[in-house]
Amino acid sequence: MNGSGKYTRKDVIGHLIALPAFAAAIAMAAAPAQAKSSQAAMKYQKSPKNGQKCSGCKFFVAGASKTANGTCKVVDGSISPNGWCMAYSPR
Ligand code: SF4
């Protein structure tokens, strides 16, 4: 605003530029966490494939013990440390 109480052209342009960025930030904060893929969609299997298995994958979250099922950051459900899916990524 300028001294006479009116918005200057610069004020208006500044707000027009800031608004979409603010709206995008709100939308991102409100969006639910990215849903995981289903085991079927990722062709998950409970056995290793070509020496690759979940326990050696960077997405695997280990269970209570070394042999217990854990979870996966990208695939839904209970995941065997000896499992495998097409998203396998070595640690
Ligand atoms: S991405 Fe696939 S291979 Fe890796 S831990 Fe998850 S289910 Fe296992």
So where are the chain's domains?
1-31, 34-91
Instruction: List pocket residues of ligand 1, CB cut-off 6 Å.
Output: 42, 44, 54, 57, 59-60, 72, 74-75, 79, 83-85, 87-88
Q: Is 28 exposed, middle or buried (0-12, 13-18, 19+ CB in 10 A)?
A: exposed
Ligand 1 atom 7 nearest Cα:
85
d(Cα 87, Cα 91) in Å, to the nearest integer?
A: 12
The class (CATH top level) of 34-91 is few secondary structures
Ligand 1 atom 4 nearest Cα: 88
Q: What is the pLDDT of residue 8?
A: 73
In the chain, which stretches have pLDDT less than 70?
1-5, 7, 9-33
67 C-alpha to center of ligand 1: Å? 15
**pTM of the complete model:** 0.67
